[in-house]
Structure 1
């Protein structure tokens, strides 16, 4: 496993303050690809949050925070997953990209939010 240099930051998530690390290198094992690690964490995140209605719990979930800690390299993977089936990836995408292409009118509409992010990704030339 590679050594990771990080700086800890905090972001407000609803009523919670969530810590995440800005990573300089991605901590994956020699035999594990970023895509594999992402998929393991994404599967855990979905499984761990499937029965909650709390956005605070969804975005502060440990698996989602670990995905964010992988860095912007996972943005195409998130967009690909979002294209397959809309999930609450929007917080992670905002943290990783610094963008928010969702209009106020579309906020809360999962299909329209997903469409806005997918369009953003295409406009940025991100292949997913």
Structure 2
């Protein structure tokens, strides 16, 4: 059996008696779940956007997207370190919550840039 199909500029005659190769070989399309990298950057983008105008550390680290980052666990440590290398920020708190560590010296407390560097050094030493 053949059918004449005309649709938005395309035209042709197609054999409708056989299944297409893709439907036979691959089955139905099923979207895959996002990988952890995609999830991390999605949470990070949302967290930064939602806390952009906040100067309160409490608001910044109690944000749901931030909690979602922490909940991802140690698999994202390399991603956090990569971000800290580019831009020191409150991701240092996520590092502390995920690892249970605090490599910053007492003299560095409150200095986001110095604390970020302490985490970078800690991570590089661990590897």
TM norm structure 2: 0.73
Q: Which runs of 4+ in 1 moved over 2 A?
A: none
Which of 1 and 2 has greater Rg? 2
Pairing partner for 2:71 from 69, 72, 76: 69
Aligned residues: 97
TM norm structure 1: 0.73
Once residues 37 and 67 of structure 1 are traced to their aligned partners in structure 2, the CA distance between those partners, rounded to angstroms, is 8
Higher relative contact order (CA 8 A, sep 6+): 1
Once residues 94 and 57 of structure 1 are traced to their aligned partners in structure 2, the CA distance between those partners, rounded to angstroms, is 17
Match of 1:13 in 2: none
Aligned 8 A contact 2:80 2:91 in 1? yes
CA-to-partner distance for each residue in 1:96-122, whole Å, 9 max, x for gaps?
Answer: 011100111011111111110000000
Structure 2 matches for 1:36-115, cutoff 5 A? Answer: 36-115=38-117
More helix as a share of residues: 2
Offset of 1:31 from its aligned partner?
3.6
Extract unaligned runs of 5+ from structure 1. 1-28
Give the RMSD, CA atoms, in angstroms.
Answer: 1.1
